[in-house]
Amino acid sequence: MLPQRHLKNLAFVSLAIVGFLKILFAVLIQVLPGKTAQPWNLYHAQTSSDWSYLFSAWDSVYYNSIAAHWYPPQINPLWAYFPLYPSIIRLLGLAGVDLRWAGVIVAIASGLMSVVAFQKIAGLYLSPVDAFRATILYFLLPPVFVFTTVSYTEPLFLLLSLLTWYTHMRGNETSAAVLAALTALTRSYGILIVAPMAYDMLRLRKYKTLSSLALPCCALVGWLAYAFNQTGVLLTPMAAESTWNTTKALQIQDSIIRFFAGGGTEGLPTILRYWSVIDVGVAFFALIALLSIKVWKLNRTLGLYSTLFLIAFSVATAFFIPTFVSLPRYLSLSFAPGIALRIKRTLLFLAITVALSALDLLAWWLFLFSTVFH
């Protein structure tokens, strides 16, 4: 049993471990094979010392575009992205920070702060050692490790949702509502955190505090109203999201519907071309579902939050097939299942840690140099 003073420092041990691995893998990727100038990479290396391409690919270009030029006055794929993250990048840019690095700074800082915030929350439900192990395993899950490192909204979303929950658990509902509003302005599904907060308030008969939850709801409605005013399209983010449904995606969607509706198998060859992506997506969905069941046993409120994520993205994937490729990323940013990643046996914990670390390096490489992980 560790002394109490050492237990208090475990969150910073987790931070040091995760931070060290991010730096180590950034160095290792430099010597692994792969072309830096990929078509989906916003910043390919201009010199041997330019590492910016490591952190900016795929969706990074859209956040950068919004930060530089804001949203267009008509329906456009950019409207699928919520405003808080690019707004912060824009503010840093006005202060003289290069937009390329502004996005990276916000993402990495948010990702590292999330490690400490997660462990503090896990400590509310687990012993200090179990909270430490759950934190390490959660932040070494490949989607969490990679997307709390690169220039995406996920690190900011994770940090804000963790701070929202931690503040809520401390009983400061006004601050929690403000943070929930910011969470909702970071990702569309940020509003989901309102449900477990409301459940807690009702369960504890804190009826007067329920009104504070109007703030995140108003923030979301306000953003949708602004988008409608600019584009004339109702529910602009959803309409923008639908633009990603290519002809191939619609064919896959139609094949799936026909298979489940009437057993039609003519579309299966098209679907099975993507068997590797399907296998990974289904496996990760199953993992999060299993962890959600375990979370229910720890805390019903966290179980509710985790289950809402699963339902929301099951529905989203049915309507927007391209989101299936990103399903592991979306589901992993619900922090609640991560709290169930506690392992008592030390050797098993160390073995899984090593295995996940190897997968993290591979996942980061795939993010930069392939089309199957983004």
- Could you report the per-residue pLDDT of 225-245, keeping only the tens digit for each? 999 999 999 999 988 887 776
Lowest mean pLDDT among 160-174, 248-262, 269-283: 248-262
- Could you report the per-residue pLDDT of 290-344, keeping only the tens digit for each? 999 999 999 999 999 999 988 888 777 766 666 667 778 888 889 999 999 989 8
| Residue 18 · residue 112 · CB < 8 Å | yes
Largest interatomic CA distance in the chain:
64
Q: How confident is the model at residue 1 (pLDDT cuts 50, 70, 90)?
A: very low
pTM for the full predicted model: 0.92
Kindly state the average pLDDT of the residues 255-281.
65
Residue 68: enclosing H or E segment and its boundaries?
helix 60-69
Residue 61 has pLDDT above 50, yes or no: yes
> What residue type is 186 in one-letter code?
T
**pLDDT score recorded for residue 100:** 87
Q: How confident is the model at residue 372 (pLDDT cuts 50, 70, 90)?
A: confident
**pLDDT score recorded for residue 272:** 62
158: tokens are 């994770």
Q: How confident is the model at residue 276 (pLDDT cuts 50, 70, 90)?
A: low
| Residue 55 · residue 104 · CB < 8 Å | yes
- What percent of the chain is predicted at pLDDT more than 70? 85
Look at residues 38, 32, 40, 99 and name the one whose alpha carbon lies nearest to residue 374.
40
Distance of alpha carbon 247 from alpha carbon 118, whole angstroms: 40
In angstroms, how far is the first alpha carbon of the chain from the final one? 41
CA distances in angstroms from 51 to 61, 100, 177, 221, 360, listed in the order given: 16, 11, 38, 39, 18
**pLDDT score recorded for residue 229:** 95
- Could you report the per-residue pLDDT of 82-132, keeping only the tens digit for each? 999 999 999 999 999 989 899 999 999 999 999 999 999 999 999 999 999
> What residue type is 59 in one-letter code?
D
